[in-house]
Amino acid sequence: MSIAYRSSEIPTVLIEPVIRRIRLKLGDHFIADTTHAIVIYENGGHPTYYLPRADFVAGALTATSKSEPAPLFGTKTFWSLQSNGITLPEKAWSYDGAQVGIPELGDYVTVDWRSVHWFEEDREIFGHPRNAYWRIDTLPSSRLVEVFVDGKLVARTRRAIFLFETRMIARYYFPVDDLVEGTLVPSDYTTYCPYKGAASYYHFDLDGKRHENIVWYYREPFPESSMIKGLISFYNEKVDIRVSSGNAE
């Protein structure tokens, strides 16, 4: 199944086959295993995997009486999940595809992301699946990057790694040694990016004022983002970052 459509009534939707193996684990047991999943993109948002009902373990899906209209894909029907004594009511759903004229959509089911563990091949994935049309580029640059907090210069570097991510603003990562003012204070806050990995954060203390969680770094980024390993980045939105157009000061 590979379908893209758009009309004045229906948002942009892309449905494509998934080549990689997708598995779902509930508790200690896998409840689905397929190489015939589809992925659905809605309005360019995060993709959602849908798995053939036939590729769920027998008894893992139980039909419920709950359904509701879904303007995009037709009637939404809910399923409960079961595995070795674990029951999760109404944590999976499917669509009949009537709204878009795709009746075969009713043969596919997706599951609430947080209810199970998702695997692509042998790697567990977190947050959400990666968008195949989303990319990250990391490029070293000798351009001068300066960071100002409350109008004060706190970092100055010509050793930044510029990170360009689809539809996102550029981020600038550089060595801690290029801080010239202020103090980094470890934070317990963390976030996760399916494209870069798990991010750890710092508060930033300057002149007696704490700026919470405005600096982050990746201890072990994914291989495609390995150039930013251990480097710090300031939130562009919370500080003033100035980047030269070339090598001039």
The pLDDT tens digits for 40-65 are 987 667 899 999 999 999 999 999 99
Residue 55 located in a structural domain: yes
Are both 71 and 147 inside the same structural domain? Answer: no
Q: In the listed set 96, 125, 154, which residue is the last one of a domain according to the structure?
A: 125
Residue 189 located in a structural domain: yes
Residue 248 located in a structural domain: no
Q: What percent of the chain has pLDDT over 90?
A: 74
- Give the separation between CA 117 and CA 47, rounded to whole angstroms: 16
Residue 219, both tokens = 């201890």
Are both 39 and 70 inside the same structural domain? Answer: yes
Confidence of residue 30 (pLDDT cuts 50, 70, 90): very high
Are both 203 and 119 inside the same structural domain? Answer: no
Confidence of residue 110 (pLDDT cuts 50, 70, 90): very high
Q: Which of 46-60, 123-137, 227-241 has the lowest mean pLDDT?
A: 123-137
Residue 16 located in a structural domain: yes
Are both 84 and 50 inside the same structural domain? Answer: yes
Q: Quick: pLDDT tens for 80-91.
A: 999 999 999 999
Q: In the listed set 69, 92, 125, which residue is the last one of a domain according to the structure?
A: 125
Are both 173 and 98 inside the same structural domain? Answer: no
Q: Which has the closest alpha carbon to 13: 76, 97, 113?
A: 97
- Give the separation between CA 64 and CA 78, rounded to whole angstroms: 6
Are both 121 and 146 inside the same structural domain? Answer: no
Average per-residue pLDDT in the chain? 90
Residue 63 located in a structural domain: yes
Residue 234 located in a structural domain: yes
Q: In the listed set 125, 156, 183, which residue is the last one of a domain according to the structure?
A: 125
With a cut of 90, say whether residue 249 has pLDDT above it.
no
Name the pTM for this structure.
0.78
Residue 23 located in a structural domain: yes
Residue 37 located in a structural domain: yes
Are both 30 and 143 inside the same structural domain? Answer: no
Domain that residue 47 falls in: 3-125
With a cut of 60, say whether residue 21 has pLDDT above it.
yes
Number of domains composing the chain? 2
